Structure 1
Amino acid sequence: METLGTALRRWRDRLSPLDVGLPGRAGRRAAGLRREELADLAGLSVDYVVRLEQGRATSPSAQVVASLTRALQLDRAERDHAYRLAGLLPPADGTVSHHVPAGVQRVLARLQEFPVGVFGADWTLLSWTPAWTALIGNPAGLEPGGRNLVRAVFTEGPDGLARWPVRHADAGLPAALVADLRTALVDHPRDRGLHDLVEELRRDSPEFSRLWDSGAVGRHVSSRKTIEHPEVGDVTCDCDVLTTPGSDVRLVVYSAAAGSPDAEKLEFLRVTGGQLAGAPSSPAPAAPPTS
């Protein structure tokens, strides 16, 4: 009889380290990912992954299963199978999916030099490159609810989700985000979390409430943003939002013209990890609940 543990081992063994952005070293004894590599990708402890695979942890939360299915690059049918093996109902139709398709994850693994964030239809940050962390700041320590861009923009200001101040040249961003949520509600009418997010923002943000009640529409366009990074100073980047056909996820990509001073700053941050001289490294990703 198949268990979640046996399925996790099978899926882990088939996944190439190259597909998740890890170097492929000659002489690796493991055919696929090691347990510690899967744990790091999923934001879990190695011990918990071992207990899952050995069947000693039998009641993972939906959040844990979602993290594992993303890290293992499962397709939708495999994702649903993982939920059932864990004794959970798969995400229902009509709700926002936080599943990142395997193809998008492979593209992300090959875009390591660029700051790239992957967002769901509700603008929750799902995945990001190390270069994103180096430029924007590490979102790993945030609770999942704190990784929502719309909530951050309307409650914290336009710097939302960035550790350093950001100057936006795109004044239409708030209206575009409101329009996105309106569309998401049409596409995912059964998503309670999405309804709660809209109600929360209408209550707590006068600007969101005004835009929502006015029926504001907008669309994302290429824009320029300047990040006030304490290590390298101002970094001005082009910011593009890319969508993937057949999926709700969108990629937010920062870039700078090759050979420009801003491109050199991005490369410096990528190589150094964006760490301030003498500063401690960013905290490790917080492990999701293991209940």
Structure 2
Amino acid sequence: MATTELGAALRHWRDHVPPQAVGLPVGGRRRAAGLRREELARLAGISADYIVRLEQGRATSPSPQVVEALARALRLTRDERAHLFHLAGLAPPGPGTVPRHVPPGVHRMLDRLAGTPVAVFDAAWTQLLANPLYTALMGEWHGDDANAVWRNFLNPHSRVRHTPESRGALQAAHVADLRRTVGRYPDDAGLRTLVAELRRRSGHFNALWESGAVGEHRAARKTIDHPRVGALTLDCDVLGVAGSDLRVMVYTARPGTEDADRLALLDVVGTRSPVG
């Protein structure tokens, strides 16, 4: 089957990424040391059939979202990611757009914090990565709900327990943070669409946006009502990644507490079987 330069590059990168390098188990017999197509597809959130068509040259025009997802799944460096965009006939995102490249070091940090719920968000609060324990704790989100601001205003199905005061403070902080992000990244069409949709669909968001509300997402203690292990009260810290404008959200429990015991239980029952 004929291939393209894009297909050949994808196959090369896939063949040279061992599963343990992306946090996957190595068990079972493998014909090659690299990732299987099914594994790459799962990591990137696209179909294995589309991976096959890209590698064989039968699909030649992936969207920017697909290219970004593949670069993230393959843990490409910034230069490799730019090369992948060029091979796909696309311009790499410019400085006026929200950075969504996750450096390999941040990937490795998530791998090493397997027993701690950790997720990575971009400057618009869209979730880019989450380790299995974070997903088990907070649930798995798709589409618009992958954006924390969208969920905070438009999705009532959150596991985080809020008082009216705590929700109001978080909403004001999210709006203020999003306003600063719009100022830093004026060329990001997706960001403009997010803000426009939030203003159209949420009167409260629009009122906060118009008011010029100020606030900042700070460290906090949060109670999460989990359907399998019960309530957990955890410290939530948001860390910045220098030079990338990424936010790393980390949940931890105080040692020796019932919350720590429940988090350890979730690490067993929640990351090895579906969350109910």
Do the aligned partners of 1:4 and 1:86 also contact (CA within 8 Å) in 2?
yes
Partner SS, residue 126 of structure 1? strand
Separation of aligned partners in 1, 2:271 and 2:79: 38
Separation of aligned partners in 2, 1:201 and 1:226: 26
Q: Find 2:249's aligned residue among 239, 248, 252.
A: 252
Which residue in 2 is equivalent to 1:212?
209
Do the aligned partners of 1:124 and 1:149 also contact (CA within 8 Å) in 2?
yes
Which residue in 2 is equivalent to 1:146?
145
1:210 to partner: Cα distance? 2.7
Partner SS, residue 250 of structure 1? strand
Separation of aligned partners in 1, 2:225 and 2:275: 18
Partner SS, residue 162 of structure 2? strand
Q: Find 2:41's aligned residue among 23, 39, 42.
A: 39
Partner SS, residue 63 of structure 1? helix
Do the aligned partners of 1:167 and 1:227 also contact (CA within 8 Å) in 2?
no
Q: Find 1:166's aligned residue among 139, 150, 161.
A: 161
Do the aligned partners of 2:4 and 2:55 also contact (CA within 8 Å) in 1?
no
Which residue in 1 is equivalent to 2:7?
5
Which residue in 1 is equivalent to 2:186?
189
Separation of aligned partners in 2, 1:170 and 1:249: 24
Partner SS, residue 30 of structure 1? coil
1:70 to partner: Cα distance? 0.5
Do the aligned partners of 1:170 and 1:223 also contact (CA within 8 Å) in 2?
no
Separation of aligned partners in 2, 1:226 and 1:282: 18
1:241 is the counterpart of 2:241: no
Q: Percent identity?
A: 53
Q: Find 1:55's aligned residue among 54, 57, 62.
A: 57
TM-score by structure 1 length? Answer: 0.84
**Residue pairs, 1:90-109, within 5 angstroms:** 90-109=92-111
1:134 to partner: Cα distance? 1.2
Which residue in 2 is equivalent to 1:156?
155
**After the TM superposition, which of the residue ranges 192-201 and 260-269 deviates more from structure 2?**
192-201
Cα distance change of structure 1 residues 80 and 87 upon mapping to structure 2, 3 Å threshold: same
Which residue in 1 is equivalent to 2:260?
263
1:149 to partner: Cα distance? 0.9
Q: Segments of 4+ in structure 1 off by > 6 A?
A: none
Larger helix share, 1 or 2: 2
Which residue in 2 is equivalent to 1:289?
none
1:61 to partner: Cα distance? 2.1
1:260 aligned partner, one-letter code: T
1:37 to partner: Cα distance? 2.0
Partner SS, residue 176 of structure 2? helix
Partner SS, residue 120 of structure 2? strand
Separation of aligned partners in 1, 2:25 and 2:145: 31
Separation of aligned partners in 2, 1:201 and 1:51: 36
Do the aligned partners of 2:152 and 2:171 also contact (CA within 8 Å) in 1?
yes
Partner SS, residue 261 of structure 2? helix
1:214 aligned partner, one-letter code: S
Which residue in 1 is equivalent to 2:19?
17
1:13 to partner: Cα distance? 2.9
TM-score by structure 2 length? Answer: 0.88
Q: Find 1:231's aligned residue among 228, 233, 247.
A: 228
Separation of aligned partners in 2, 1:261 and 1:251: 25
1:247 to partner: Cα distance? 0.5
1:166 aligned partner, one-letter code: R
Structure 2: runs of 5 or more not aligned: none
The structure showing larger relative contact order (alpha-carbon pairs under 8 Å, at least 6 residues apart) is 1
Separation of aligned partners in 2, 1:282 and 1:59: 36
Cα distance change of structure 1 residues 274 and 34 upon mapping to structure 2, 3 Å threshold: closer
What is the CA deviation profile of residues 21-56 of structure 1, one whole-angstrom value per residue up to 9, with x for unaligned ones? Answer: 123559755333232221221122323222222222
Do the aligned partners of 1:116 and 1:129 also contact (CA within 8 Å) in 2?
yes
1:274 to partner: Cα distance? 6.3
Do the aligned partners of 2:240 and 2:247 also contact (CA within 8 Å) in 1?
yes
Do the aligned partners of 1:21 and 1:110 also contact (CA within 8 Å) in 2?
no
**After the TM superposition, which of the residue ranges 196-205 and 248-257 deviates more from structure 2?**
196-205
**After the TM superposition, which of the residue ranges 119-128 and 175-184 deviates more from structure 2?**
175-184
Partner SS, residue 73 of structure 1? coil
Do the aligned partners of 2:136 and 2:275 also contact (CA within 8 Å) in 1?
no
1:126 is the counterpart of 2:125: no
Structure 1: runs of 5 or more not aligned: 284-291
1:17 to partner: Cα distance? 2.7
